[in-house]
Amino acid sequence: MRFKPSLLVIAALGSALFSTAEVFADEVNIYSARQEELIKPLLDNFSRDTGITVNLITGKPDELISRLASEGRNSPADLLISTDVGRLYRAKTQGVLQSISSAALSSAIPEELRDPAGQWYGLTMRARPIMYVPGKVKPEELSTYANLADPKWRGRICVRSSDNIYNQSMIAGLIAHKGAADAEQWVKGLVANFARPPSGGDRDQISAAANGVCDIAIANTYYLGGMLADPKQRATAEKVKVFWPDQDGKGTHINISGAGVAAHAPNKANAVRLLEYMVSQQAQQWYAETNHEYPVVAGVQASDLLQQMGEFKADKLNMDKLGELNGEAIRVMDRAGWR
């Protein structure tokens, strides 16, 4: 197993790595909540194409945001990369990001996938549909997220815990559309239909459905794509199929990975240049094929594995609302008994 140093160790190393803005004449410093292997090849390509040195520190998103806040004006960070809009919104409200203006970003990224104030931008999109086991569930039995609260699904649904940001964002989206009261009633019905107490990540929910623990899982598509691409997990992943809910209504819930320029970025121009590079045709294609996430740029195709899951209508709610309503979503989930 590859050794992963703790954030404290990384912080100490980072102090030496990012000692002053003058060490490198042309660099960009990144705090990334994305795992190194999921982003470093793209950053290496950027360095090769531009001559700009990329210094990368990875860690958990909340810890990176706290680090930015504690470093203040002394922070060496130019760019914060996160795996969920909820964390990007949190970074924005804590004042560790700054607004930027970029015609390239505004034209490439749909309005609902970027911050209205220009403090963060979606770089990839992921969907959170219903995944079901053929033979146990007929696709015609499925329709909407709301339908999952029906008692016919009692003891048949697997989903991870309420402290997961992906679930919090999903409920925040429901609150935005239906209000907190309706969302709470739905969550109560969903919780009543759990096959087991929530545990593990999205891959664990997919595996549980494939292994007969439940008939339905709620999970992000890129986890299923990753399992299908892994020879060791392919057989398990092939036991479930994707159903796109709410296609006659608001559309399937989506989220993003994204990034924002740090409030005190010493290399702001290079940070903006890297953001613009990440929505280029070649970078978006790399993301799509390597990580099985949906491109945010029109005209770039999803990976073959994602294309096999079918086309779908995505919810057009502005991602900013998912961050704004995160606190209310957590309260709703707590009151409804989702642990």
Q: Are 30 and 54 in contact (CB under 8 A)?
A: yes
Residue 12 pLDDT grade (very low, low, confident, very high; cuts 50, 70, 90) = very low
278 vs 287: CA distance, rounded Å: 9
50 vs 52: CA distance, rounded Å: 5
Q: Are 335 and 101 in contact (CB under 8 A)?
A: no
Same topology, domains 7-123+256-300 and 127-253+313-335? Answer is yes
Residue 240 has pLDDT above 80, yes or no: yes
Residue linked to tokens 């292994």: 211
Residue 5 has pLDDT above 60, yes or no: no
Q: What is the pLDDT of residues 108-121, one digit of tens each?
A: 999 999 999 999 99
| Reported CATH class of domain 7-123+256-300 | alpha beta
Beta bridge partners of 257: 124
Please report the pLDDT score of residue 35 as a whole number. Answer: 85
| 127-253+313-335 fold | D-Maltodextrin-Binding Protein; domain 2 (3.40.190)
What are 64-72's contacts with CB under 8 Å, separation 24+? 64/7, 64/31, 64/32, 64/33, 65/90, 65/91, 65/94, 65/96, 67/7, 67/11, 67/31, 68/31, 68/94, 68/96, 68/262, 68/263, 69/94, 69/95, 69/96, 72/264
Residue 163 has pLDDT above 50, yes or no: yes
Residue linked to tokens 């290496």: 44
Please give the average per-residue pLDDT across 266-284, as a whole number: 97
What is the radius of gyration, based on Cα positions, of the chain?
Answer: 20
What is the layout of strands, in order, in the sheet containing 130-132? Answer: 157-158, 216-218, 130-132, 241-243
Q: Are 76 and 21 in contact (CB under 8 A)?
A: yes
Q: Where are the domains of the chain?
A: 7-123+256-300, 127-253+313-335
DSSP state of 96: -
Residue 1 has pLDDT above 70, yes or no: no
Q: Are 126 and 168 in contact (CB under 8 A)?
A: no
Q: Are 323 and 88 in contact (CB under 8 A)?
A: yes
209 vs 326: CA distance, rounded Å: 28
Residue 103 has pLDDT above 50, yes or no: yes
